[in-house]
Amino acid sequence: MSQRRPLRAFAVLLCAAVLAGAGCARFDSAQSQPFTTEPELAPGPTSSPPPPPPLPAVPFPKECPAPGVMQGCLESTSGLIMLPDSQSALVAERTTGAVKEISVRAEPKVKTVLPVDGSGDGGLWDIVLSPTYAQDRLMYAYVSTPTDNRVIRIADGDVPKPILTGIPKGPTGNAGSLIFTSPTTLLVQTGDAGDPGQAADPGSTAGKLLRIEQPTTVNQAPLTTALSGLGAAGGLCKDPSDESLYVTDRTPTADRLQRITKDSKVSTVWTWPDRPGVAGCAASDGTVLVNLVNSQQTVAVRLSPDTGAVTGEPEVVRQDQRGHAWALEVSPDGNVWGATINKTAGDAQPLDDVVFPLFPQGGGFPRTNEEKT
């Protein structure tokens, strides 16, 4: 593992030449606590002032003294939900099935522990809150069982209820991702269970982006497929500026970032033939941040607002700091947060795993060159 070093100043990173570590690529044109939140929380308009530093000047004296993070001493993480105060979050632990409420100003609290099969690359892979969480207190999760991968619904004080079962499970390719794209539409990204043939099979739910309308435990409407032929799942993120949805996945020949526009046009934004391990993403105003697990990077991919084409090679905005990161989320104040998987990656530091600010000095989501002038 490369030695981790402090993140350089955000402005310097964005003005620097593209680092060689970005890899070869090609591009194509084209819940018991009283909080209220949306499953996808976006920063304000780019004309608003940049957000303040994400961490308090005086750290809260936690039992786990990991410096410069929201929370340390976690098991390997997966899903991450930033909460309305921008100072707390829900984080999922893949292998334990625990969902914890964490904060920069308090000790962590266990919200729930879900029964999962954490063997191989299975476990608790993602969590998302109902768009009407304030009223229904519902959370959804993508989990592995001994026999399948599935989507479940969790209500406070009740046992988890299945929403979608029978997603193929394999020795690998069990990751999945969830996102609400409207108050009634839940999208589910499934992995290929280690078998690209299943991803291409219209009769299989493996390797697909599936659409569930009005998710319910009874009389569920038929699934529809928004995208097929996916490899191992990486993540889903939506750009609130134009409602484009971005999908990351890992195929046998390359890692990919794909885009689905509001009118359902699909295009490949970028591919990484060196397969650096695409994972979670976050998008705003035509810029997509993508975590690359194997190379311990976060990169910014920029798209032209006029053509949708990529404007240049991905810019490396995080290299090595905090190690291998999967989840990537934007808090309501505009700060960007990541969560690490160093324990399962095999080179954890003593106080791993952590939820950390991507830009510790503040400044929020990367701005375009025009906005910086």
Q: What would the pLDDT profile of 210-247 be if each residue is shown by its tens digit?
A: 999 999 988 889 999 999 999 999 999 999 999 999 99
Taking 90 as the threshold, does the pLDDT of residue 84 lie above it?
A: yes
- In order of start, what are the domains of the chain with their CATH numbers? 10-41+68-372 (2.120.10.30)
Q: How many CB atoms lie within 10 A of CB 280?
A: 26
Taking 60 as the threshold, does the pLDDT of residue 19 lie above it?
A: no
Write the DSSP assignment of 70-137 as a string of letters: SB-SPPSEEEEEE-TTSSEEEEEETTT-EEEEEETTEEEEEEEE-----STT-SEEEEEE-TTHHHH-
The mean pLDDT value for 56-69 works out to: 97
Short-list 184, 149, 7, CA closest to 78: 149
Short-list 68, 7, 79, 106, CA closest to 356: 68
In this prediction the pTM is 0.87
117 prior amide bond cis, ω within 30: no
Least confident range from 29-43, 47-61, 278-292: namely: 29-43
Least confident range from 92-106, 264-278, 303-317: namely: 303-317
Taking 80 as the threshold, does the pLDDT of residue 15 lie above it?
A: no
Per-residue model confidence as pLDDT tens digits over 165-212: 999 999 999 999 999 999 999 999 999 999 999 999 999 999 999 999
Q: Is 207 exposed, middle or buried (0-12, 13-18, 19+ CB in 10 A)?
A: buried
Taking 70 as the threshold, does the pLDDT of residue 47 lie above it?
A: no
Taking 60 as the threshold, does the pLDDT of residue 46 lie above it?
A: no
At a CB cut-off of 8 Å and minimum separation 6, what does 204 contact?
A: 168, 198
Short-list 147, 88, 152, CA closest to 125: 152
At a CB cut-off of 8 Å and minimum separation 6, what does 338 contact?
A: 80, 280, 291, 298, 318, 322, 325, 326, 327, 328, 329, 355, 356, 358
Instruction: Give the Cα separation of 56 and 58 in Å (integer).
Output: 5
Rg (CA), the chain: 19
Helices and strands in the chain: count of H runs, count of E runs? 5, 24
Higher-confidence position of 336 and 13:
336
Question: How many residues would you count in the chain?
Answer: 373
